[in-house]
Amino acid sequence: MHPILMYHGLDAPAPHGEARYTVRREAFRDQLRHLDALRVPIVSLPQLLGGGDGVTLSFDDGEESVFGKAAPLLAQFGGVGVAYVTSDWVGSPGYLSVAHLRQLAALAWTIGAHGRSHRYLNDLDDGALRDELAGARAALEDALGAPVVDLSLPGGRGDERVLAAARAAGYTTVATSVPGLNRHLRADQLERLAVQAGDDFVRVGRLATGHLPTVAGEVAVVGALDLAQRVLGNQRYERVRGYALRVLRR
């Protein structure tokens, strides 16, 4: 079992962020304290891929609060995370700067890509898909002066064509929004469990320890959402997504 939790930002959403995926700093601290009390170690992405026991914390989009708020709290518990960064947003208000990225990397955080512009990858033609993947990787490698080989799919949208394009662009790991515990660990299809604003530390602890009823509930919710997305398409689905989440998570 190799659970990965998926966060976004803390306290207030960045300009492209969503309140639903923004966790209060105090709640995040409580979650870390609870994981510590449960004796669940926080492991880096390389440690997880090497078979290490524990939970990995990932953060999508590259919001500034990851550096200013999440990283210091994680450090108090001896942990580091994964920052999946939308490269076009680097340095814009509310998002990580190049200096932030370099400092996180120096702290042993993994810096990965989250696309160049956050467009849904499965909506793009082959040329635009290559540009989105290669452009994000090139921009982040230029900022860091180091290889960037980890990717998370914007909006969790991806298919076999997207995965093949990611491999061709030089990515060796791909994080999805498919819920699960990575029991059969596949670097190119990493499962993650989303943490939302209303989730308390007990729920987060259950996700991190693989509590089957909690994980199964998340699988059911995301499965229903995935079906709706495939029926409606990305654009129409986005218009009803908030309502669907409220109904399914009751």
Q: Say how far apart CA 56 and CA 165 lie, in whole Å.
A: 25
The helices-and-strands tally (H runs, E runs) of the chain is 10, 9
Place 15 in a pLDDT band, splitting at 50, 70 and 90: very high
Structure confidence by residue, pLDDT tens digits, 214-241: 888 777 766 555 544 554 455 545 544 4
4-209 — its CATH code? 3.20.20.370
Q: What are phi and psi of 210, to 5 degrees?
A: 75, 30
pLDDT at 239: 45
Where along the chain do its domains lie?
4-209, 211-250
**pLDDT the model gives residue 233:** 53
Contact between 91 and 64 under an 8 Å Cβ cutoff? The reply is no
**Residue 141 carries which side chain, given as an amino acid letter?**
E
Whole-prediction pTM: 0.88
| Mean pLDDT along residues 96-118 | 97
Amino acid at 82: V
Are 49 and 185 contacting, i.e. CB atoms less than 8 angstroms apart?
yes
Check if the beta carbon of residue 111 is closer than 8 Å to that of residue 121.
no
Q: What integer pLDDT is reported at residue 58 of this predicted model? A: 98
CA triplet 245, 248, 250: central angle to 5 degrees? 105
Indicate the residue type of 163. L
